[in-house]
């Protein structure tokens, strides 16, 4: 991680910062909050909506750093093109791809010794034939976010009869506990912990959660868990979704550039990460 520095323009010179974002995130608090902080500090910020933009491959983006939030094909294509042209990016296309694939993400976390629920992946009919499953299970699309497509199954018969719209599913042991999930948010050296109701209700149905949740103290153990997850994938801005396991938190997902809902001062911290990274590169040039 680069050192944390002031958001103020170095030596009185504004940084040229690009913000690449998917259309669906424009109404959310991020990256809008960070854009406001950067502009208030005097930096030159250009917001580019990935879904509406085309780029010439090999051409310079004309910015010192590019902050990106998204996962769509349009977003990743533009982000990859910028990286190939030598633009410094937060987060990288490779890091985003590593967590966008939930099966690969879970395998990488388990290989790194990070506590995760028991997880299987494969066609639903093949999963139903396994003898080592433990119910209930939560099934997820391999690619997906914001709790889209989640299904809770309580028996092998229910799993065998389930219509699943994709070739394979990710199945995890379902740990509901008190119905509160733990969200860890990270921006550089800052870590927040937030308790929020699960997007799955007591009956196993998905639901929208309007509340930001309640911030709780970040213990050294939680901070270490969050940072280990970031190191596995090379992320600078990310969130870690956890549920309560029998021996402590279990990591169910790592997300690149999350909402940071319930994390006070997140926009300022994200701006610090962006300007610190850009300024270190400009100074080294």
What does the pLDDT look like over 7-16, one tens digit per residue?
A: 454 445 789 9
What's residue 149's pLDDT?
Answer: 82
Confidence bin at 2 (pLDDT 50/70/90): very low
b vs e for 29-66, b when ≥16 Cβ sit within 10 Å of the residue's Cβ? ebbbbbbebbeebebebeebbbeeeebeeeeebebbbb
Domain 10-91+264-284 adopts which CATH fold? Rossmann fold (3.40.50)
pTM for the full predicted model = 0.90
Closest to 142 (Cα-Cα) out of 129, 161, 124: 124
What's residue 59's pLDDT?
Answer: 62
**Where do the H-state alpha helices sit in the chain?**
29-40, 73-84, 93-100, 102-111, 124-128, 156-160, 220-233, 266-284
For 99, the 3-state DSSP assignment is helix
How do strand 248-256 and strand 190-197 relate by DSSP bridges? unpaired
Q: Using CA atoms, how far apart are residues 169 and 171, in angstroms rounded to an integer?
A: 6
Q: Using CA atoms, how far apart are residues 138 and 169, in angstroms rounded to an integer?
A: 10
What's residue 187's pLDDT?
Answer: 98
What's residue 49's pLDDT?
Answer: 95
Phi-psi region of 80 (alpha: psi -120 to 50; beta: other; left: phi over 0): alpha
Q: Using CA atoms, how far apart are residues 45 and 39, in angstroms rounded to an integer?
A: 6
pLDDT in tens, 229-245: 999 999 999 999 999 88
What's residue 246's pLDDT?
Answer: 85
Stretch among 48-57, 158-167, 242-251 having the lowest mean pLDDT: 48-57
Closest to 218 (Cα-Cα) out of 270, 156, 263, 250: 263
pLDDT in tens, 191-243: 999 999 888 877 677 778 888 889 999 999 999 999 999 999 999 999 999 99
What's residue 7's pLDDT?
Answer: 46
Burial of 69 (0-12, 13-18, 19+ CB in 10 A): buried
178 vs 115, which has greater pLDDT? Answer: 115
pLDDT surpasses 80 at 142? yes
32 vs 144, which has greater pLDDT? Answer: 32
Confidence bin at 56 (pLDDT 50/70/90): low
Q: Using CA atoms, how far apart are residues 107 and 145, in angstroms rounded to an integer?
A: 18
Architecture of domain 99-116+176-256: 2-Layer Sandwich (3.30)
Mean pLDDT value across the chain: 89
Task: Give the CA diameter of the chain.
Answer: 67
Stretch among 3-7, 57-61, 70-74, 122-126 having the lowest mean pLDDT: 3-7
> What angle is formed at CA 23 by the lines to CA 22 and CA 27, rounded to 5 degrees?
110
275 vs 148, which has greater pLDDT? Answer: 275
What's residue 173's pLDDT?
Answer: 93
- CA distances 264 to 184, 215, 228, 268, 285, Å, are 13, 9, 22, 9, 34
Q: Using CA atoms, how far apart are residues 199 and 206, in angstroms rounded to an integer?
A: 5
Show Cβ contacts of residue 71 under 8 Å, excluding neighbours closer than 6 positions.
22, 96, 100, 145, 256
Closest to 241 (Cα-Cα) out of 121, 69, 117: 117
What's residue 60's pLDDT?
Answer: 67
Mean pLDDT of 241-253: 91
Q: Using CA atoms, how far apart are residues 234 and 1, in angstroms rounded to an integer?
A: 9
């Amino acid at each position: 991680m680069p050192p944390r520095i002031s958001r103020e323009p170095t030596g009185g010179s504004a940084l040229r910062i690009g913000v690449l974002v998917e259309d669906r995130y424009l109404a959310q608090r991020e990256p809008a909050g960070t854009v406001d902080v950067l502009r208030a500090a005097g930096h030159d910020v250009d917001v580019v909506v990935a879904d509406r933009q085309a780029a010439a491959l090999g051409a310079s983006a004309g910015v010192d750093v590019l902050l990106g939030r998204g996962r769509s094909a349009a977003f990743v294509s533009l982000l990859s093109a910028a990286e190939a042209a030598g633009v410094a990016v937060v987060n990288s296309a490779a890091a985003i791809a590593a967590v966008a694939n939930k099966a690969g993400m879970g395998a990488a976390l388990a290989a790194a010794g990070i506590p995760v629920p028991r997880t299987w992946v494969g066609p639903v009919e093949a999963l139903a034939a396994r003898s080592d499953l433990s119910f209930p299970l939560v099934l997820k699309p391999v690619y997906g976010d914001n709790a889209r497509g989640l299904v809770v199954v309580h028996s092998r018969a229910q799993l065998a009869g389930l219509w699943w719209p994709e070739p394979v599913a990710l199945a995890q042991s379902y740990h509901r506990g008190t119905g509160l999930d733990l969200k860890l948010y990270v921006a550089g050296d800052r870590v927040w912990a937030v308790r929020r109701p699960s997007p799955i209700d007591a009956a196993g149905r998905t639901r929208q959660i309007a509340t930001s949740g309640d911030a709780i103290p970040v213990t050294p153990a939680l901070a270490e868990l969050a940072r280990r997850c970031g190191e596995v994938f090379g992320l600078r801005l990310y969130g870690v979704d956890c549920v309560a396991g029998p021996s402590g938190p279990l990591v169910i997902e790592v997300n690149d550039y999350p909402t940071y809902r319930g994390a006070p001062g997140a926009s300022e911290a994200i701006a610090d990460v962006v300007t610190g990274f850009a300024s270190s590169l400009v100074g080294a040039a």
